[in-house]
A and B are shown apart, each in its own frame.
Chain A
């Protein structure tokens, strides 16, 4: 046993409960040493030696220990959770092979308690539905607003399937109601698009821009020079302070000034080729004001097929010097702290000089939401 393993054992002996969880049983307490060793796995392979020993211990436990192992998963460390889930899967596989009874009732209790780690609940659901063919019917309707995005996705998927079936059966009104239910619950982009399209086909109006929380009103300025990709790390004046009345020297000695732009794209896409003018080897800035009623932590999520930087109130949240290498809604995610009142969101979007026809796009989209993807709107 390594020293680290011993240290973890000392720290965790006595069966301390994780935050929000009920006190541990004696049997659960015996599991805490190896569970803690695995939860201590970090990036760069740190903690592997202890975790490898702990994995051998956990993977040979009784299947009756599975509920405690599920509860022992990490709330935020998926490196560790991968080690743990493979131990749990191994224990259940062996238990089934040996004819042991899998404690489905206790696993269902793990699933029911949303204070348990999301990964533990997701794995509990996976095994429940594999071993108990009635579990889906019991649980899917309960998980429409689950804090686990994976469980919520499964629940919404079931509603969408039901809506489609009702539609095929000619029950249009009931089908549309189901699609509305799905649209409200969904946080997955594809599910939202599916439900919205069905509702529109049925004659309903859906405001996807608002539903996602895309920002659509901007002030734009550019082009600045980004030939040879040198402009990405060059601090042009808008990075120091935003003065919407100022004019600056732009690319090739042109005078550039801020101008307003309102995108009508329902996914908030701002086409800079259209709004600033087609320009290769160029950089542009976009700025908007977001009013928050309170100080709050939010997700700022954006996508761009171009190199980009994003600042919130002067703090750099993300920097991606990547050109034409994929794009999409929520391609990049960063956490930011909104202050009460006005918040300044600034983007820099850089185009390179590739001549291929598929490399000409110059655009971005950005939205504000909570950690689940629920839109947060500006108060003004």
Chain B
């Protein structure tokens, strides 16, 4: 344990300057790597429920936090065509505002999913709520509409009838949507100021549920990384121009993970690319291993390690070398991605259990399990003062109340 404690202290030193007080502003947090350095994850969750709020509809989407607000999307109605964006006060759980819309695109999806599957994103000024029907609602932090864009109306064949789940990302005043299916299949960069298209590019006509991620190039350019059946492409987020690509079959569900210049690409194996070493338009492969390959859940960074969840097994490997560190078996089936704060990983499963896993550099242990009693599909959000978990009916804050 002494080794583990030293390791944990080192991890905190690495991340505190980067993420102190940051909003959990998108799917898997501000870095898109599932990590918060400021959240304190309790072990006895039943003693730490700050508040619970009812939700007006379903949604596998994650909550996000923006300042003192918690933003959640939901969908309801006989055809899942009623869209909801809700803002709750992070301290009290009181409803700040609730905006509703009507879907303009296809809303068919598998019964286990819902129209509100993608997680919203925020740049700290505006909120971008996106749905499987390819509707994009842009609101300011007071809930005032800035603009509404119906990509499902623009491209009626976009999507698939199992349901879409790719979440938006936003950087450099551009929100990027990856809308890939067997019919209309494309990626679009939208001007955050007015909802108009900056660029649009065709994508492979294959179903794809993974989300784009952002990163900075070594020379400071905002990039968006697009994973799909033809591999991984890095594009200038403002222009859509290709910067580099890596060809490999990489469709499916889990999303890419970025840490510094390292890019962790889920494929038939986990491929780790060094984006600071681009040769002939292709990044150098640092290592690859099918032993750290994630299932539907996206991988996360745990200090100097990468952690992947496949079926119910957490696997940890050294991020630089791929050396295996530990494996840990969990109870349940998982769609939600794991998230991490300090040396604790939170994993929520379909049976409604939240596991808290404490780890060191060479071992992991489930130190607490809380039973929510409702199906949990959404990845939890980690904020300074608590953990946010949502089901199809409720939003919970586990942490400090006001």
Contacts and interface: CB of A to CB of B under 8 A. Distances in A.
A85 B100 contact: yes
Contacts of B110: 326
B303 to A, nearest CB: 38
A317 interface: no
Contact of A52 (B99, B108, B146): B146
B194 A52 contact: yes
Interface residues of A, number: 36
Contact of B154 (A43, A190, A191): A43
B98 to A, nearest CB: 8
Contacts of B119: none
User: How would you classify the secondary structure of chain A's contact residues: helix, strand, loop or mixed?
Assistant: helix
A155 to B, nearest CB: 12
Interface in B147-162: 147-150, 153-154, 157, 160-162
Contacts of A153: 78
A56 to B, nearest CB: 8
A86 B145 contact: yes
Given A43-B154, A48-B196, A49-B194, A325 B161 contact: yes
Interface in B56-109: 77-78, 97, 99-102, 104, 108-109
Contacts of B78: 153, 188, 190-191
B181 A322 contact: yes
Contacts of B100: 85-86, 89
Chain B interface size, under 10 / 10 to 19 / 20 to 34 / 35 or more: 35 or more
Given A119-B102, A326-B161, A48 B183 contact: no
Nearest to A41: B148
Contacts of B109: 326
A328 B148 contact: no
Given A45-B194, A150-B77, A326-B162, A79 B99 contact: no
A79 B157 contact: no
Contacts of B181: 322, 325
Contacts of B157: 320
Contacts of B135: 82
A190 B80 CA distance: 13
Contacts of A79: 104, 148, 150, 153
A12 interface: no
Interface string A23-66: 00000000000000000010111001101100100010000000
A154 to B, nearest CB: 9
Nearest to A122: B102
Nearest to A188: B78
B150 A321 contact: no
A80 to B, nearest CB: 9
B56 to A, nearest CB: 11
A85 B182 CA distance: 33
B161 A82 contact: no
Interface in A81-124: 81-83, 85-87, 89-90, 93, 119
Contacts of B97: 93
B42 interface: no
Contacts of B147: 45, 48, 51-52, 83
Contact of A78 (B104, B190, B205, B207): B104
Interface string B186-218: 000010001111000000010100000000000
Given A79-B104, A153-B78, A48 B194 contact: yes
B108 A328 contact: yes
Given A45-B195, A52-B194, 13 more contacts: A43-B150, A48-B195, A59-B144, A83-B148, A87-B145, A90-B145, A119-B102, A153-B78, A188-B78, A321-B183, A322-B183, A323-B182, A325-B162
Interface of B: 77-78, 97, 99-102, 104, 108-110, 135, 137, 143-150, 153-154, 157, 160-163, 181-183, 190, 194-197, 205, 207
8 contacts: A41-B148, A45-B197, A48-B195, A51-B147, A82-B148, A86-B145, A325-B162, A325-B207
* Among all A-B residue pairs, the 8 with the closest Cβ atoms: A326-B161, A45-B196, A86-B145, A325-B160, A322-B182, A82-B148, A82-B101, A43-B154
